[in-house]
Amino acid sequence: MGASGTVTRSTLRQQIADALRDEVLAGRLQPGREFTVKQIAEQYGVSATPVREALFDLSAQGLLESDQHRGFRVHAFTVADYRAMVEARALVIDGVIRGIFHGPGPARPQAAAYRDALVVVRRRAEEAARAARGGDLDILIGYDLRFWRELGALVGNSYITDFLHRLRVQAWMFAVPYLRGDADVRDRLWKGHTDLVAAITLGDCDAVRAVLDDHDAGALDWADGLAAADPPPPATGDER
Task: State the DSSP code for 237.
Answer: S
Does residue 88 belong to any structural domain of this protein? Answer: yes
Selection from 62, 68, 70 nearest residue 34 by Cα: 70
If we measure between CA atoms, which residue out of 72, 75, 74 comes closest to residue 53?
A: 72
Q: Burial of 164 by CB count in 10 Å (0-12 exposed, 13-18 middle, 19+ buried)?
A: buried
Domain boundary among 42, 74, 106: 74
Question: Do 138 and 221 belong together in one domain?
Answer: yes
In a domain, 53, yes or no: yes
Per the domain annotation, does 236 fall within a domain? no
**Is the domain of 59 the same as that of 177?**
no
Domain boundary among 34, 49, 74: 74
Amino acid, res. 203: G
Same-domain status, 65 and 87: no
Give bridge partners of residue 73 from the DSSP assignment. 34, 65
Q: Which domain holds residue 223?
A: 79-229
- From start to end of 77-140, where are the E strands? none
Asked if residue 159 belongs to a domain, the reply is: yes
Yes or no: say if 114 and 107 are a contact pair by the CB < 8 Å rule.
yes
Are residues 86 and 70 part of one domain?
no
List the 71-74 sheet strands across, edge first: 34-35, 71-74, 64-67
Q: Tell me, yes or no, whether 66 and 173 share the same domain.
A: no
Task: Return per-residue pLDDT of the chain as tens, 240 residues.
Answer: 333 344 355 689 999 999 999 999 988 888 999 999 999 999 999 999 999 999 999 999 999 999 877 899 999 999 999 999 999 999 999 888 888 787 654 445 556 777 888 999 999 999 999 999 999 999 999 999 999 999 988 888 888 889 999 999 999 999 999 998 888 899 999 999 999 999 999 989 899 999 999 999 999 999 999 999 876 666 544 443
Tens of pLDDT, residue by residue over 31-78, are 999 999 999 999 999 999 999 999 999 999 999 999 877 899 999 999
Length of the chain: 240
Q: Does 90 lie in the same domain as 59?
A: no
- In this structure, the answer to whether residues 139 and 126 fall within a common structural domain is yes
| Residue 34 counted as domain residue | yes
**pLDDT reported for residue 103:** 64
Looking at the fold, whether 123 and 142 belong to one and the same domain comes out as yes
| Total structural domains within the chain | 2
